[in-house]
Chain A
């Protein structure tokens, strides 16, 4: 057994020097961004007597005439085409309610899923009755955002073989703003596991599947135990992602992989100890910077 008890350490002060450029575009609620009326009002701003004012603390983003303020941390704001990982919260008539750390529960309509067998057909009353056989409360799914309703709730779909019910693996939850938007959010990492980086901050780690079983339509889950070697990789990845998230490093395949490699000299369970976390994250940062520079 192992117990690691200690006194809390004082957080290191981050030097704020050399960041003048960034500071200019940082605003807090109530800051007037511009008094010029020629701009369009985006998220995170409001008009206060003709003055465009920030309503959240964050960075100002300008796209042509549109001004937005992106808060550092917020609930997930879905956009059409985003890949998300979510948990079924409720089975309702003709639809599932899905928890996606968005501000309202997302909706997965029975008509937006591929039913087993893969054939495209009208959804019958039987399908409606057997909805729980496909997905029940607590199940995890990967899906794509199909539409955003007027009240901000998301409508999801799983009409592709890469989406669907998730089997054995580990879910890690981080802030949505830490997941970097990329071309693909599905990766088979060379270290031996696969990762789905949901745009909503839900990250799914699972053993790389042997072959895609098309007939199952994504509703069959293997009950075979996962090999110990795969588990070790997954657990290490999990702790690496948490370490990166704790130090607010953007998450994408390369940063996760670099962190994984930097952590190899430590035991898996030690990665979450503050000093090891710091060391591993620092190495990752250096490697990322080297690659860029």
Chain B
């Protein structure tokens, strides 16, 4: 993970600030930084989204490809995750430097998103046991300033919302074989139901309290954090402790409660935003990177 150095006195200042519910940038313990979301930013994908959370900047591209279902789950499609910690984000990631973090992130994402509760995997099935849609979710880190998980989860939800999978028709051939025909019409497509897709909330334990959306500086002051993925109904789908330190059960309980509350509240504004963007359609001028 990209890290920053911080002196003991600065650490003390941050910890005391969290205790007083006034963080260095003026936020309270449960406030998120200013977030900007835009979908459909890369045209070579079936769905994409760019999320800026403070100085953290991630780009998610989703490609749908036809693959073979897993033998155990013949009537379901699946999702594949890949996180590219590119050197663009920080020189530490150059060469193989970002690989460890990339694997950690993608494994967690796999646990959080690739299950029946989060995404309707059955809808990705084309013909049971033979063909299904595989959604390749590729995350690209462009800038890191803490709280990668939350930013990525929001970006994935937005990109899934944006994903348009072409409709397919299965044509029986004379010799009994099947052939898959993709629809040529770009408007003739299937959307992914994102209603139950969870958002991740990472809570950082700083001193005796915990904060959401920690910056890198705040993360340097914390010993451990807890990751919780929550659906819009407040259902917790995954809990994980991250970081080297230890947490006592009491505080894990408190953090889960906060996480549930915060996570639940994330969905409404996100969906509202995505729907608003969709309704604006082509009337809205694309911002992308050109600004």
> Cβ of A6: which chain B residues have Cβ within 8 Å of it?
35-37, 273
Closest chain-A Cβ to B55's Cβ sits at a distance in Å of 10
> Cβ of B33: which chain A residues have Cβ within 8 Å of it?
272
**A117 interfacial contact with B, CB 8 Å:** no
B291 touches A169 (CB 8 A): no
* Cα–Cα distance between A168 and B35 once the two chains are bound (Å): 29
Q: Which of A225-281 contact B (CB under 8 A)?
A: 225-226, 228, 231-232, 235-236, 238-239, 267-269, 271-274
A7 touches B36 (CB 8 A): yes
* Cα–Cα distance between A231 and B25 once the two chains are bound (Å): 10
> Cβ of A232: which chain B residues have Cβ within 8 Å of it?
22, 26
> Cβ of B34: which chain A residues have Cβ within 8 Å of it?
4, 272-274
Stretch at the interface among A8-16, A45-53, A155-163, A185-193: A8-16
> Cβ of B261: which chain A residues have Cβ within 8 Å of it?
1
Q: Interface code B1-45, partner A: CB below 8 Å = 1, 0 otherwise?
A: 000011111101100110110111111101111111110000000
A223 touches B265 (CB 8 A): no
**B284 interfacial contact with A, CB 8 Å:** yes
**A131 interfacial contact with B, CB 8 Å:** no
**A128 interfacial contact with B, CB 8 Å:** no
**B270 interfacial contact with A, CB 8 Å:** yes
> Cβ of B36: which chain A residues have Cβ within 8 Å of it?
5-8
Which of B31, B37, B291 sits near A5, CB closer than 8 Å? B37
B277 touches A7 (CB 8 A): yes
B262 touches A1 (CB 8 A): yes
> Cβ of B6: which chain A residues have Cβ within 8 Å of it?
138
**B276 interfacial contact with A, CB 8 Å:** yes
Also in contact, A223 and B7, with CB within 8 A (given A1-B30, A228-B22, A231-B20): no
**A166 interfacial contact with B, CB 8 Å:** yes
Q: Which of A39-81 contact B (CB under 8 A)?
A: none
B35 touches A272 (CB 8 A): no
Closest chain-A Cβ to B270's Cβ sits at a distance in Å of 6
Question: How many of chain A's residues touch chain B, expressed as a range?
Answer: 35 or more
A239 touches B25 (CB 8 A): yes
* Cα–Cα distance between A274 and B34 once the two chains are bound (Å): 9
* Cα–Cα distance between A131 and B52 once the two chains are bound (Å): 42
* Cα–Cα distance between A138 and B7 once the two chains are bound (Å): 5
**B269 interfacial contact with A, CB 8 Å:** yes
> Cβ of B262: which chain A residues have Cβ within 8 Å of it?
1
* Cα–Cα distance between A136 and B9 once the two chains are bound (Å): 12
> Cβ of B62: which chain A residues have Cβ within 8 Å of it?
none
> Cβ of B5: which chain A residues have Cβ within 8 Å of it?
87, 89, 137-138
Closest chain-A Cβ to B28's Cβ sits at a distance in Å of 8
Also in contact, A139 and B7, with CB within 8 A (given A170-B13, A231-B17): yes
Which of B9, B31, B276 sits near A2, CB closer than 8 Å? B31
**B282 interfacial contact with A, CB 8 Å:** no
Also in contact, A7 and B38, with CB within 8 A (given A87-B5, A239-B26): yes
Specify which of A8, A140, A239 lies most central, judged by the most chain B CB atoms within 10 Å of its CB.
Answer: A8
Closest chain-A Cβ to B152's Cβ sits at a distance in Å of 15
> Cβ of B17: which chain A residues have Cβ within 8 Å of it?
231, 235
Q: Interface code A138-174, partner B: CB below 8 Å = 1, 0 otherwise?
A: 1110000000000000000000000000111111000
Which of B19, B30, B284 sits near A7, CB closer than 8 Å? B284
Also in contact, A140 and B269, with CB within 8 A (given A1-B261, A8-B36, A9-B287): no
A8 touches B38 (CB 8 A): yes
Which of A2, A137, A223 sits near B32, CB closer than 8 Å? A2
A226 touches B13 (CB 8 A): yes
> Cβ of B28: which chain A residues have Cβ within 8 Å of it?
1-2, 269
> Cβ of A170: which chain B residues have Cβ within 8 Å of it?
10, 13, 24
Which of A171, A228, A239, A274 sits near B10, CB closer than 8 Å? A171
Enumerate chain B interface residues (CB-CB to A < 8 A). Answer: 5-10, 12-13, 16-17, 19-20, 22-28, 30-38, 52, 212, 261-262, 265-266, 269-270, 273, 276-277, 284-285, 287, 291
Can you give 24 contacting A-B residue pairs, CB < 8 Å? Answer: A1-B28, A3-B266, A4-B32, A5-B273, A6-B37, A7-B37, A7-B38, A7-B277, A8-B291, A10-B291, A11-B291, A87-B7, A138-B5, A168-B9, A168-B10, A171-B10, A221-B8, A223-B12, A226-B16, A228-B20, A238-B24, A238-B25, A269-B28, A274-B34
Task: Given A1-B261, A4-B32, A7-B38, output 14 extra A-B contacts at Cβ < 8 Å.
Answer: A1-B31, A3-B31, A3-B269, A4-B35, A7-B276, A7-B287, A8-B52, A10-B285, A10-B291, A139-B8, A170-B24, A226-B16, A238-B24, A239-B26
Considering the complex of A and B, which 4 residue pairs feature the smallest CB-CB distances, nearest first? A268-B26, A1-B30, A269-B26, A11-B291
